[in-house]
Chain A
C-alpha cells in the first residue's frame, strides 16, 4: 500500500461527488423541461404535439383581474348563455355568438372548424407554444402585464378560435358544475376562487391537471382535451370541512 491518500478519501473528490444531484438538471434540459438559461430562451421545440404545456397563462398583474363580484356576474352570464336542457353548460353551443359580456373581456366564440383547422389558425401562436414548452412552466406562467405587449397571449389566442370557459370555485362547489366540451377544441379556462382559496383539478384518467386558485385571483389556463370522456373536476386546496365534497364534471365529446 502506498502512503498517498486513496483517491476516494480526498476532500476534492468527496466535495465534487456531493454535487452529483445537480446533474439532474441536464436530464431536465434533455427532456425539454429545463429552463436553459445559457440560451435564454431555448427554442428546440418539445412536446407541443401530443404533450403538455404550451399555450398561455394569464396576463397577470393582480389589479387587472375582475373582482370576485364581477367574476360571479361573468360566470352567471356564461352559464345562462350556454345552459343546455340536461343541466350542463356547453360553451360554444347555442351561443349568442360574439356578444361580449359585461366584462368586455369575454372572448367566448363559437368553435370554428375542427381541431386541425384550429391548429393551422394558431399560426404565430404555435411558435409561442413551442417556446413556452421549451422554457418549461416558467414561461407559461405569464409575467405581469407591464412586461408584455398587451396582445401577446390570450387576446390573440381568443381571436384564433379559443373558447372561453368560466369556472368559479366556492365553498363548497364549482359553478358551473357540469360542463360539456369538445375534444380538440382549445379552451381558455378562466377560473377564480371567490371566497377562500380552492383548487381546480381535472382528473384525466392516468393523472390530473391541477390548478391552485387563490382567493380573488383570476387564473387563466388554456386547455385542449385530446380524448373524449367524462372527467371529474375537484378541489385540491383544503377549504374547510366540506373540502372533499367539492366536485363537478366535464364531459368531453
Chain B
C-alpha cells in the first residue's frame, strides 16, 4: 500500500459515507465555534460596560461561551481531524463506522441538551457546579445530561478512530507510522477525558433527580476533568502541525519515526498526573502535594517543546538542504500565501505568549494571588484561540475544501485573519493580565463593585472589550468562509497533487538552530515574567500565610 503523505489528498479518496461523517463533524465544530464566539463577544462587551444584560442573561451568555467553545468546538474539531488522520492512515474506509455515526449523534444531542439546560435553568457556568443550581434541578439535570452525552459521543468516535488505526497497523505490517501512533495516543487521551467527564457529571445528574447524594467533591472531579480536557487540544495542535508538515512544507520529521513516537507518548505520561496546579488555591492541601504539583507542572511543557523542536529542526534543516541561506532563510521557503500555513505560523507565536504567562501561574505562590483573577482568561485565550483554535482552523482549511471538492473563498483575506486575531488577543490578553495582577476577578459581569473597586479595573475592562472585537471578527470570518464549502457553496476545484517528500538524509547534515534558539528565548521570557511577578508579589502591602483548611 502506498504511504499517504498528504492528509488532504488522502481524505478525498475516502468513501462518500466517511466523507459525509467528517463534514458533519466539522459542521458541528463550526456551529459551536460560531455560537460560542458570539457569546464570548457578548460577555466581553458586557464586561466593558457597553452592554448591560440582567445578571442571569449575562451569566447564561458566559455559560454558553465556555460550554460551546471549550467543550463542543474543541471536541467536534478534534474528533473530525482525528478520524481524518485515522482514515488516511488506513487508506480505507473507517472501521466501525456505525460507532462513529452513533457517537456523532450523541455529540449533537449533548450540544442540544447543554444549550437547553443553560437557557432553561440557573446559569451554572461551564463547570456546572451543583452548588449554584438552587431550585432549578430539572434544568441542571438536562445540562448534566448534555455533558454525559458528550462523553458518550467522545468515547464512541474516538473508539472508531482507534479501531481504524489498528486496522492501519495490520495493513502496514504491524508497524504504526509516527502520526498513526500519535493519533492513537491522542484518541486514548480523548477517551480518558470522556471517562473523567462522565465521572464528574454523573453524580450531579443523579443528585439533580434525587437519585443520589449531593456531590460534594464536584470541584475536585472538575479539576481533574478540566486539566485533561485543556491539555488535549495542545496535543491536538502539535499533531496537526506534524500531520500537515508534508503537504505544507514537503517535509517529514528528519529525526525518525521512533523519536516522534516517544514525544507523543510523553503526553500520555505527563498529562494525567499534572492536574494539581489547578488546585493550589484549594484549602487544606498538604505541603508535599504542593511541592510535587509545582514540579510536575513544569514537565507538562516537555512534549510540546519537543514536538515543536522536531518540526522546526526538520523544516529548517530540510530547507537548508534545498539551498536556503541565512539564519531565517528557511522560513521564507515556506508557502506563506497558504492561509493554513499562516494560521499555524501565528499559532506558534501565540503559543509562546500564552505559554510564558501560563508558567507564571504554575508557580504555586503566584497561583495563590492570580488564580481566579482575570489573569487566567487573559493568558489562556492566547492558547485556546491563538494557538489551538488557529491550528484547528488551519486543519479545517485543508480538510474542508478537500472533503467538499470546493475552494475556500477569499484566500487572501483568510491569510490576514491570524494577525488580526493576534492583535485582538494582545489587547484583550494584555488588559486581562494587567487586570488580573491588580486582582480583578474573572467571571464577573461588572467589576465596578459600586465604585469600591480600583478605577483601573473599569478602564482595563474597556480594553478587554476592545480586544474582543477583532478576535470575534477574525474567528467569525473563518467560520463563514469554512461554512461555504460545507453548504455546497463556492467554486469547485480539482484534486491537489500528492506531497513529495525529500530524503531526510542530507538534511541531517545541515545546521538547524532556529528551534533551539526559539526555545531559549521562550525560557528567557518565562524567567522574565516570573521574576517580574515575584517583584510584584513582594510589593503588596500585606503579609499573609496561605489559607489552610480545616
Q: Kindly supply a per-residue 1/0 record for chain A positions 41-79, scoring 1 wherever the CB is within 8 Å of any chain B CB and 0 otherwise.
A: 000000100111111111111101110000000000000
Within the complex, what minimum Cβ distance (angstroms) separates B473 from chain A?
27
A244 near B449 (CB under 8 angstroms)? Answer: yes
B548 near A215 (CB under 8 angstroms)? Answer: no
Q: A201–B439 Cα gap in the complex (Å)? A: 8
In the assembled complex, 15 residue pairs joining A and B whose CB atoms fall closer than 8 Å, in A order, are A15-B259, A17-B516, A22-B301, A24-B526, A50-B543, A51-B543, A53-B365, A136-B290, A137-B290, A137-B364, A138-B288, A141-B284, A206-B536, A207-B539, A238-B129
B287 near A139 (CB under 8 angstroms)? Answer: yes
| A interface residues, Cβ below 8 angstroms from B | 1-9, 11, 13-15, 17-25, 27-28, 31, 33-35, 37, 47, 50-62, 64-66, 132, 135-144, 191, 196-197, 199, 201-215, 217-227, 229, 232, 234-245, 247, 249
Residues of B within 8 A of A64 (CB): 550
A136 near B543 (CB under 8 angstroms)? Answer: no
If the complex has contacts A11-B256, A232-B452, are A20 and B523 also in contact, measured as CB distance less than 8 A? yes
Tell me which of A18, A35, A60, A241 contacts B284 (CB under 8 A): A60
Which 8 residue pairs spanning A and B have beta carbons closest together?
A: A57-B548, A208-B439, A65-B550, A58-B548, A55-B545, A244-B444, A18-B306, A138-B290
Binds A, one of B145-153, B423-431, B493-501, B502-510: B502-510
B372 near A210 (CB under 8 angstroms)? Answer: yes
Interface Cβ pair total, 8 Å cutoff: 346
Tell me which of B129, B313, B438 contacts A9 (CB under 8 A): B313
Q: A240–B60 Cα gap in the complex (Å)? A: 11
Q: A15–B540 Cα gap in the complex (Å)? A: 40
Q: A242–B306 Cα gap in the complex (Å)? A: 45
If the complex has contacts A136-B365, A196-B131, A212-B547, are A234 and B508 also in contact, measured as CB distance less than 8 A? no
Within the complex, what minimum Cβ distance (angstroms) separates B546 from chain A?
4
Q: A191–B441 Cα gap in the complex (Å)? A: 19
Residues of A within 8 A of B450 (CB): 247
Name which residue of chain B comes closest to A223, CB basis: B544
Q: A249–B454 Cα gap in the complex (Å)? A: 13
B444 near A210 (CB under 8 angstroms)? Answer: no
Residues facing A in B393-442 (CB within 8 A) are: 437-439, 441-442
Q: A226–B541 Cα gap in the complex (Å)? A: 5
B540 near A206 (CB under 8 angstroms)? Answer: yes
Residues of A within 8 A of B367 (CB): 137
A240 near B134 (CB under 8 angstroms)? Answer: yes
Name which residue of chain A comes closest to B545, CB basis: A55
Name which residue of chain A comes closest to B513, CB basis: A8
Residues of B within 8 A of A237 (CB): 372
A60 near B290 (CB under 8 angstroms)? Answer: no
Q: A54–B548 Cα gap in the complex (Å)? A: 12
B131 near A239 (CB under 8 angstroms)? Answer: yes
B219 near A214 (CB under 8 angstroms)? Answer: yes
A244 near B125 (CB under 8 angstroms)? Answer: no
If the complex has contacts A138-B288, A138-B364, A141-B290, are A218 and B549 also in contact, measured as CB distance less than 8 A? yes
Name which residue of chain A comes closest to B58, CB basis: A241
Tell me which of B287, B305, B447, B541 contacts A20 (CB under 8 A): B305
Residues of A within 8 A of B534 (CB): 31, 33
If the complex has contacts A20-B523, A199-B372, are A51 and B538 also in contact, measured as CB distance less than 8 A? yes
If the complex has contacts A197-B219, A212-B282, are A224 and B520 also in contact, measured as CB distance less than 8 A? no
Q: A211–B507 Cα gap in the complex (Å)? A: 54
15 further interface pairs, Cβ-Cβ under 8 Å (given A143-B286, A211-B283): A6-B511, A17-B305, A18-B309, A55-B544, A56-B548, A136-B294, A137-B290, A201-B441, A206-B438, A220-B548, A221-B546, A221-B548, A235-B441, A239-B132, A244-B441
Q: B285 at interface (Cβ–Cβ under 8 A)?
A: yes
Within the complex, what minimum Cβ distance (angstroms) separates B481 from chain A?
35
Q: A110–B369 Cα gap in the complex (Å)? A: 30
B282 near A52 (CB under 8 angstroms)? Answer: no
